[in-house]
Structure formats: structure tokens, C-alpha cells
Chain A
């Protein structure tokens, strides 16, 4: 059994490495390598079909950034990050506190709120398309209760399309983030709340002085997860609005798809994908750094 030049420990390491090899091969071939290729080819005039290309420097990036749609798409993506992420997290946290305080029935609420998460986003988007539709149930309801003034084509108007889309995404996602907050809440010692109650601390004070500092890690996880989630979200907005009307609800993630598979402008898709990737890495690492620092400060 002895192999020359290899100690027992070294052989073990080689066997361990062989175990990782199939997975690493799949990840490399089907994920990492295409990413690196995107990065390289975004500086070329590759047509997406053949194997030939020439270097064109930053030309694709310049074209993408100066395109008339780019500004709108970036604004939409930022809107979702700035509005959707905080609103989602506040709602999820409040609901988690409510579920935590609701005793036995908590499990039922939890399951009900988590329920939309199981459905395909295609299904979710379809359901809400029907609801928001001009003659849809939302407008029917508004007319029935005498708020006819509010009835409108929710997904067709510039002012309402993004709020309506955000509402749908929150409706879909809130149950998942609630579960993570709830898991955090369950780690807070009950005695803390009991002694706070004896000392007459108000409910708001409890939330801000005890709960939030103690579940800071869950807050960090949820904010980072929901930010990445919204930056890369595709299925739901794609089926709900396809980015329309015009570019008014189109995000970076959708824009990459349209460049690549609808307009067949491969190099623009690559350049935009690279920008999207850099943006995702940048914003999540800033968030992580800030939130970790807060976590430590509140400890």
C-alpha cells in the first residue's frame, strides 16, 4: 500500500481533493467559467455566435451607460433597493414580533404568511396581473366601496407601476424574512422581557432597546439577502410587467435578459451583466461592513 514519497496525511489530502473534484468541475464549467468569460468578452465585439472577436476596450460599457434607457433602469433598481428593502424588513420584523407574541396560534400565522413563498413567481405574477388589471378585482373593490377616484390601471401608469410591483414582491417575500426574524427572536432570553415588563418599559422601548439590538445578526442577514434578492430578481417582474410600460418598471436584471435574448445585442448584455455583478458585490459588501459594525457597537 505504501506509495513512494507520500506520507499518510498527504495521501489523505489527495483523496479529499478528489472528493471535491466532481462538484468543483460542475461549478467551474457551468458557473465560474461563464462568468469569467462574460468579464473578458465584455471588452470585445463578440457576436454571441462565432468564435472570433476583437478587443474594443470600454466601448460596450460606454454604449450601455449612455443608452437612453439606462438611466431609467438604474433609477428603478435603486428605487427597489431604497424603498422595497426597508419596507419589507420593517413589515417582516413587526409581523415576526406579532407572531412571537401570539402564543399557540403563531404556527398557523407563520405557515399562512409563508405560503406565497411556495408558489412559482410566474404564478404569483399572474395572480397579481389579474388583480391589478383595469377591470380587475382591485378596481372593482375600490368602486364598490365608493373610492372610484382611486381606481386606475395600476401596472400601466408611471406613478403606480413600481409601487404596485413592490407591493406584490413584499406580499410574496415577507413570510420568508419573517421566519428568519422569528428564528432570531427565539434566541432572546424571555427573562429579559419579563424583567423589562416589571420595570414598566413600554412596548416601543422593548422593541428598540431589547429586541432589535439582540437580533442584530438576523437584521444583517435579512437586509443583505433581500438586497441581493431584489437586485437579481427576474421571474416576477418579467411576468408581471416585462419592464413596461416603456422602461418604467425595468430593472438591471431584466435589462440584461432583454439585451441578450430579445434584442440580441450580446456585447451590451455582457457589459451590463458585468456592471450588475459589480454593483451587487459593491452594495452587499458595503452593507455587510456597516451592519457588522453596528452589530458590534450594539453588543
Chain B
């Protein structure tokens, strides 16, 4: 009898928690709903009825206007190119370096590794000013490569940290067996290690790819030419042009939605990996 009562009590507690969580979750996504539904309304409708979307008055005009005003395809391409270049650099250079550090067992590289880990928490603002001066000197301002290299320099310490941590959990015997079979280091990296790195690479891409895709600061200071601007940067300058007047919020609503759309689509398909990947990085630290 006692255990039955205990279960009843627990179920009641669980019901209470669920009710509370449903309310909290809905309140939390309410601001997003507010923007989403207003993106498809005409201005008078937004003021009259901000939280309900009536299909009869729904319009694509805001989204279409924002799309053309932003020159969306160009911004999208800029964002994609910078993201891909950065991720290729982070993953390839990060894997190579982590492999070297994990295999060497040398005191020097262990010290380098400690230094890299310490650098993870240093504020980007500390490097910002001389970095821009240097980019100008190298002719890398307003270039995809320049921006991608800035992201790489900033995030490689973290990426190397994640990869090295993972490689150190792979049994050494694997590589040693490869060596007996005449595998050089590079061969064993390619044929033994890289196939094992799929999930950790997913983590790296989520933990650093998403911030790069969403970032404003680096694009703001490295991409001053308007044809180079990324989606967040264009959205930001967009507000300056339309938002401050207070009358063109419809355009801002539309712009916000189309800027967010790509990552939301990716999230819908890869939801599980996102949630898992987000934790993996922090828990290792």
C-alpha cells in the first residue's frame, strides 16, 4: 500500500512540474511567435491584433520586401562562404594539430597545449585593434579569407582542445598496431583516427559553426564594404535604415524571419545533434 501511495504522490508532483514547464516553455517562445506571426501581417493588423495571425489577412509582402531590400541571395552567399571556409579551416587544422599533440607525448607540445587551452577564455576584444591593422596590411580586409582566418585564429584553441580530449580517449594500441603494419603517422590519422571523429566533428561544427553563422562583431569590423556583408550584418544595418523611424517595423519583422530561417531549418532536421553537441563541449571543460 505504501509504495502505491508513494507512486501517486510522485505522479501528482510530475503533473505539476509538467504544467509549470508547459507554461514556462510557451512564455519563452512567445516573443518568437510574436515576430513570426507579425512578419506575415500588414501594418494596421499588427497594431490591432499583435498575437493572432488571421489567415484571411496573411501576406507575404513584408518578407518579400525585406528579401529584395536586403539583397538576400548575396548576403546568404557571403554568410555561407565565410561559414564553410571557417569550418574547413577549423576542422582540418584542428584535427591535424590535435593528432600531433595527442601522438607526440612531448613535453614541449604539452606546454603548447596548455597555452592553447588557457587562450580559450581570453576576450577577442584584446586582439581586435592590431588584428584589423594587420588585416589591412595583408590586404585581407573585406575578403572571405580574411574573415574566415579571424574566426579560425579565435576558435582554433577551443577546437584543438575538443579534438585532443577526444583523441586521448582512443586507445594508443590502435595506432601502435598500425605502426607495426607499416602505417606512417599520416596514414594512421587518415585510416584509423578520422573515421572515429565523426561525432566529435559534429560537436565542433555545432559549437563553433552556429556562433560563426550568427556572429555580428567580426563581420562588423572586417567587412566594411556593403557587398561583403553577411546576413546578421545586413540585418543590423537594415535597422539603422528602417527601424529607427519607427514606422517600418514590418520590414524588420520580415527581415528577422528570413535571416533566422536557414538555421531553423537545419535545427529542425538535426535537433538531436544540436542539443547533444551543445553539452558535449562544456562538460569536457
Measured CB to CB, the residues of A under 8 A from B are 12-13, 15-20, 22-24, 26-27, 29-35, 37-38, 41, 48-49, 95, 98-99, 101-103, 105, 108-123, 126-131, 133, 135, 137, 140, 171, 176, 179-180, 182-184, 197, 218, 221-222, 224-225, 228, 231-232, 234-235, 238-239, 253, 256-257, 260-261, 266, 269-270, 273-274, 276-277, 280-281, 284
The digit string for B42-59, where 1 denotes a CB below 8 A from any CB of A, is 000000001100000000
A102 touches B21 (CB 8 A): yes
Q: Is B180 an interface residue (CB 8 A)?
A: no
Q: A19-B96, A276-B126, A284-B121 are in contact. Are A31 and B28 (CB under 8 A)?
A: no
Question: Which chain B residue has the least Cβ–Cβ distance from A234?
Answer: B217
Distance of B120 from chain A, by nearest CB (Å)? 9
Closest 5 CB pairs of A and B: A30-B153, A19-B100, A16-B104, A23-B97, A120-B214
Q: A105-B21, A261-B221 are in contact. Are A113 and B28 (CB under 8 A)?
A: yes
A122 touches B28 (CB 8 A): no
Q: 6 A-B residue contacts at CB 8 Å?
A: A22-B97, A120-B213, A126-B256, A235-B214, A260-B132, A280-B121
Quick one: which of A105, A183, A239 contacts B236, CB cutoff 8 A? Answer: A239
Residues of A near B35 (CB, < 8 A) are: 127, 130
Q: Is B112 an interface residue (CB 8 A)?
A: yes
Q: Is B190 an interface residue (CB 8 A)?
A: no
A114 touches B121 (CB 8 A): no
Quick one: which of A38, A110, A121 contacts B127, CB cutoff 8 A? Answer: A38
Distance of A5 from chain B, by nearest CB (Å)? 17
Q: A22-B96, A27-B116, A239-B236 are in contact. Are A277 and B122 (CB under 8 A)?
A: yes
Q: Is B210 an interface residue (CB 8 A)?
A: yes
Interface secondary structure of A, over-half rule: helix
B101 touches A20 (CB 8 A): yes
Q: Is B178 an interface residue (CB 8 A)?
A: no
Cα distance, A296 to B130, chains bound together (Å)? 42
B18 touches A103 (CB 8 A): yes
Residues of B near A131 (CB, < 8 A) are: 31, 34
Residues of A near B96 (CB, < 8 A) are: 19-20, 22-23
Q: Quick one: which of B149, B153, B210, B239 has the most chain A CB within 10 A?
A: B153
Measured CB to CB, the residues of B under 8 A from A are 6, 10, 13-14, 17-18, 20-22, 24-25, 28-29, 31-32, 34-35, 50-51, 89, 93-94, 96-97, 99-101, 103-104, 106, 108-109, 112, 116, 119, 121-134, 149-150, 152-154, 156-157, 160, 185-186, 189, 210, 213-217, 221, 231-233, 235-236, 239, 243, 246, 249, 252-253, 256, 259-260, 263-264, 267, 271, 274-275, 278-279, 282-283, 285
A26 touches B149 (CB 8 A): yes
Distance of B186 from chain A, by nearest CB (Å)? 8
Question: Which chain B residue has the least Cβ–Cβ distance from A177?
Answer: B282
Distance of A84 from chain B, by nearest CB (Å)? 17
Question: Which chain A residue has the least Cβ–Cβ distance from B120?
Answer: A228
Quick one: which of A38, A126, A184, A231 contacts B130, CB cutoff 8 A? Answer: A38
Question: Which chain B residue has the least Cβ–Cβ distance from A30?
Answer: B153
B29 touches A112 (CB 8 A): yes
Residues of A near B279 (CB, < 8 A) are: 179-180, 182-183
Residues of B near A24 (CB, < 8 A) are: 97, 112
Question: Which chain B residue has the least Cβ–Cβ distance from A19?
Answer: B100
Quick one: which of A49, A111, A120, A121 contacts B271, CB cutoff 8 A? Answer: A111
B235 touches A120 (CB 8 A): yes
Interface secondary structure of B, over-half rule: helix
A235 touches B126 (CB 8 A): no
Q: A23-B160, A34-B130 are in contact. Are A16 and B185 (CB under 8 A)?
A: yes
Residues of A near B108 (CB, < 8 A) are: 17
Quick one: which of A22, A30, A101, A123 contacts B260, CB cutoff 8 A? Answer: A123
Quick one: which of B104, B106, B121, B216 contacts A239, CB cutoff 8 A? Answer: B216
Quick one: which of B112, B214, B271, B282 contacts A20, CB cutoff 8 A? Answer: B112
Residues of B near A224 (CB, < 8 A) are: 121
Distance of A246 from chain B, by nearest CB (Å)? 18
B129 touches A22 (CB 8 A): no
B130 touches A120 (CB 8 A): no
Residues of A near B126 (CB, < 8 A) are: 35, 38, 273-274, 276-277
Residues of B near A130 (CB, < 8 A) are: 35, 249, 252-253
Q: A119-B263, A130-B35 are in contact. Are A176 and B129 (CB under 8 A)?
A: no
Residues of B near A22 (CB, < 8 A) are: 93, 96-97
B130 touches A41 (CB 8 A): yes
Q: A130-B35, A180-B283 are in contact. Are A281 and B122 (CB under 8 A)?
A: yes
Q: A20-B112, A103-B18, A122-B216 are in contact. Are A273 and B128 (CB under 8 A)?
A: yes
A123 touches B97 (CB 8 A): no
Q: A17-B109, A23-B97, A120-B235 are in contact. Are A114 and B32 (CB under 8 A)?
A: no
